[in-house]
Structures are given as structure tokens and as C-alpha cells.
Amino acid sequence: MELYRLTIHELQEMLRKGEVTSRDITESVFRRIEEVEGKTRAFITLMKEQGLKQAEMADIRIKEGKLSQLTGIPLAIKDNMCIKGIKTTCGSKILENYIPPYDGTVIERLKEHMPVFIGKTNMDEFAMGSSTETSYFGVTHNPWDIERIPGGSSGGSASAVAADECIAALGSDTGGSIRQPAACCGIVGLKPTYGRVSRFGLVAFASSLDQIGPMTKDVRDCSILLSVISGHDKLDSTSIDVEVADYEKCLGQDIKGLKIGVPREYFIEGIAPDVVKSLWSAVKELEKLGATYKEVSLPHSEHAVAVYYLIAPAEASSNLARYDGVKYGHRASGTKGLMDMYTQTRSEGFGQEVKRRIMLGTYALSAGYYDAYYKKASQVRTLIKRDFDEVFKECDVLLTPTAPTPAFKIGEKTDDPLQMYLSDIFTIPANLAGIPGISIPCGFSREGLPIGLQLLGKHFDEEKLLQVAYAFERHTDYHLKKPVIGQDAL
């Protein structure tokens, strides 16, 4: 068995016993990257030299008896999280050569455990997309079928984990950008409660929606990574000071008597039959384990996509105003005066989807339209949150599809933004309400493409989500199936 195929907890045990070194694992991962990266294109920046040095330092620490949860484990980081001295582009031309002078808080917390940073993964530009097709650095491919999208915006991280180009990765989720690509690529992806994980050092898209979370090969790895990155941060005013559980300890607990809600609004026209079939099969599996389910209603969730595409672009319009070519990032040359420099810089630096959302957001915030659009959307957002609050009075978790269809073909929806936006129809409500959500593999389509099951929980109840996800995972084998790519195909 190649080391790159293993999980965090499997490698952790081997490192503890002295059966392998971090250098062994890291070299195995880089060999895998050389083998398949030409097909997946999951990375924007590889950190081979730095990674091998980190592996050597980790091995020294392990010999000193200082092995912790992630010591020596190769991780990939989405390219909108700042690592000091490493290019951070957000998949955009405007930040093509930006090198942060500081580490984001999640990076600092990871560094305390001495993992190995393999590289920065590709993403939709400024996290605006559902397919990783809007990146200035090219399209990432799904390892299950390289003619299909890996999901987005954290498509690079999802593709890298699925193709074993890293052991685990971090993504960010503003409207489904961890969970939807996790579903498309057949891996586990968790969006924590808003405020659970610090956003300091995450390049902002929509500040009231963004959250960083783990993307892993199984639920146990997800719990390990979440434990490390969670916690209050005084540098992030939206970070909440609540206790962080040892998420790994909640795994394996009985789910007998657990109440699962299945929202009727999530089974809409246009959802793929294979997705529906896999979902109800998952419900039956959880029933066998002692859980009960009931149909519930989230009546305002039908407005979630419309609300999101007013709030998120409005916040993006504000956040992206800083990219003006003055202090850092791309600056247009040969311009005549300050206003011309601003205009040309932003015209050249941003891609079409980012420009579309900036214009939508600026319009929604403009004088005379604020009350009609942004304010009204914020009010409906409150109603969406109240729907969840009511449902959680009678249910422990909610079970829904992660995405309405398996991964679609590259280029299939690029000319139809509305169809692209609907890819996140089942994930957006959780961001608007600030609740946690996890996507886990629950089946395959007739074409052999992964299908994801989404579990949603109460604020700061990630333990319950992981408990249920782990129970399902232990009694199924979907997470063990791997795409055939590279040497696997020989």
C-alpha cells in the first residue's frame, strides 16, 4: 500500500510506532503529484522544497517524543489562506504575485503541530464559483472523470484529496464551497458553525458567510483537523469564544433514538434520480442503526439562492474595493491619471464572474435600492434562520442532498450563470443561518460518479454531525472507493 493512500489517523499510528518517517510520507505524496497533477491540475503553487524541510523538522520532533495530531502529515491549503512568504493568489490575476507577510490564524494553529504544507490549491477566482472553472490559473479536473468539474470553489482541495495528492486539505465555504466539491469528488467536507474557526488570514469574499473547514478522506480525519483549527481568536471579531470539544472522542457513540429531519423542500424538480435514490438508501441505513426520521419543512429555504446572490455580492463589492492597484497586487501600466489606473487595473485584474458579482453587489447597495434589495434579503435571511431554529426543536440533525446532481461536464454551465448558481441550492441555507454542515459519500451515479449526503446541525453542534456521519461511514464503504487515475489505470 502506497503511503499517499492512507489517512491522517493511519499515518499517525505508523509514525508513532516508528514504521515510517514524515520524509517517507512526503516523498510518496510528491511522487503521486508528479504522476497525476497533469490530469487533475489541483494546485496553483507546489511547496516541494519547503515541504521536505518541514518533513525533516517533523521527524526530529517525533524522535524527541513530541508527536501530536498532525505532526509530519502532508496537507494542502486552499489558495485564499495566507501563509507567510508563500504566494496567495485567490485564483485571480489581480493577486498573481501577492506574497503575504503573515500567517493566517488557521495556519498558525496548524504550524503548532508541525504538519507538512504540500502546496496551495486551485479555486474559483475569489471563491466565486461552483466548478473551479473561473480560476485565472486554469480549470481543475475531477479525478473520477477528468472531463468533469470537481465542484467549487474549493475544487483544487477536493480534487487533491480524492486523487491522493495530499493526505487532507483545508477549504473555505461561503455558500457550499467545501461541501459541494466534497460531494463531487467523493470525500468528506465540513463547514463549521460561523465563528467556530477564525477567518483572520482568509482573503474575504462575503464576511458574514465565509468559514474555513476540513476536507478529508474520512470522518475521523475530519474530526482531527477540525479540533486543531477551531477556537476563539481575538484577531477575528466574528470569532466566538465557546469551548472546543475533542471531536475525535465523539466518534463511535450510539445513534439509537436520534431524530433525523428530512426537509421536503430539498427534493425539488430537476434533482437527479440517482441522488434521490442514494439519499433514501442512506436514511434506511441510519434507521437500521436505531435512528428515526420524519419529514420536516423549511418554508423559506426556497428563497435562499435569491437572498444569497444579493448578500454575498454586496459584501464582495465592499471587500474587493481594496484591489485598486495602489498598495499591492496587479497594477495596469500605461494609464493616464488615478481614475484610469483604477479602472484599467480592475478591468484587467478581475475575471468575468468576479466582475459580474461586484456589479450586482454594488447595485444592491446603491442609493435608492438598498432597502429594496440588501435590506429585504437580510430580513428573509432572518426568516431562514428561524426555520432552522424551529426544526431543531424536534430534530437532532437534518439530512439532505449535498448537490442536486453529480459532477457535470467542464464547460456545461459556464454560459448559464443561473444554472451554475443553482448547483449550491442545498448548501446555501446553512451559510445564511450560520449552522454547521458536513458532506459525506453516500453512493454513486450510473456513470460511476460520487454522490454526497449532507447533514446539518444546530449552532456549535459539530459533535452530533460527526457522530452521525461516522456511524453511517462505519457501516458503508463508499468512502473507501477511489478514482482510477494515473498508475491506477494501468
Q: Per residue in 38-66, pLDDT tens?
A: 999 999 999 999 999 999 999 999 999 99
Q: Is residue 177 annotated as a catalytic residue, yes or no?
A: yes
Catalytic residue, candidates 131, 153, 230, 439: 153
In a domain, 46, yes or no: yes
The mean pLDDT value for 307-314 works out to 97
Q: What angle do CA 197, 175, 384 make, to 5 degrees?
A: 95
User: Does residue 433 surpass a pLDDT of 90?
Assistant: yes
What mean pLDDT do residues 13-31 have? 98
Structural domain total, the chain = 1
Q: Which amino acid is at 360?
A: L
Query: Is 1's pLDDT higher than 80?
Result: no
101-128 pLDDT, tens digit each = 999 999 999 999 999 999 999 999 999 9
Q: What percent of the chain is modeled with pLDDT above 90?
A: 94
Q: Does some domain include residue 430?
A: no
Please choose, from the candidates 403, 406, 409, 389, the residue with its C-alpha nearest in 3D space to the C-alpha of residue 457.
Answer: 389
Residue 431 has pLDDT above 80, yes or no: yes
The answer to whether position 344 is within a domain reads no
State the CB neighbour count (10 A cutoff) for residue 104: 27
CATH of the domain at 90: 3.90.1300.10
Q: Is 153 a catalytic residue?
A: yes
Q: What is the crossing angle of helices 22-40 and 8-17, to 10°?
A: 150
Q: What burial letters (b/e) apply to 133-161, b meaning 16+ CB within 10 Å?
A: bbbbbebbbbbbbbebbbbbbbbbbbbbb
Adjacent-strand bridge partners of 214: 170
Which residues fall within 8 angstroms of residue 76, CB to CB, at 6 or more apart? 42, 43, 117, 118, 119, 120, 121, 156, 157, 160, 161, 165, 166, 168, 169, 170
- Per-residue cell: 172: 473555505
Whether 120 is in a domain gets the answer yes
Residue 343 in any domain: the answer is no
Q: Which of 22, 28, 78, 198 is catalytic?
A: 78
**Would you say the C-alpha torsion 95, 98, 100, 101 has a positive or negative sign?**
negative
**What was the pLDDT predicted at 114?**
98
Residue 418 in any domain: the answer is no
Is the separation of the CB atoms in 13 and 90 below 8 Å? no
Residue 490 in this model has a pLDDT that exceeds 70: no
* pLDDT tens-digit readout, 73-83: 999 999 999 99
Average per-residue pLDDT for the chain: 96
**pLDDT tens digits, one per residue of 228-283:** 999 999 999 999 999 999 999 989 899 999 999 999 999 988 899 999 999 999 99
Q: What is the pLDDT of residue 489?
A: 65
pLDDT at 22 over 80: yes
pLDDT in tens, 349-385: 999 999 999 999 999 999 889 999 999 999 999 999 9
Residue of 177, 239, 301, 423 marked active site: 177
In a domain, 264, yes or no: no
Q: Which domain holds residue 19?
A: 3-253+457-489
Question: Is 423 among the residues known to form the active site?
Answer: no
Residue 317: asked if its preceding bond is cis (omega within 30°), the reply is no
Task: Measure Cα distances from 15 to 12, 63, 66, 227 in Å.
Answer: 5, 10, 11, 20
Cα 137 from Cα 411, distance rounded (Å): 16
Question: What is the predicted pLDDT for the residue at 357?
Answer: 96
pLDDT at 462 over 80: yes
Q: What is the mean pLDDT of residues 290-296?
A: 97
Does residue 358 fall inside a structural domain? no
- What per-residue confidence (pLDDT) applies to 250? 86
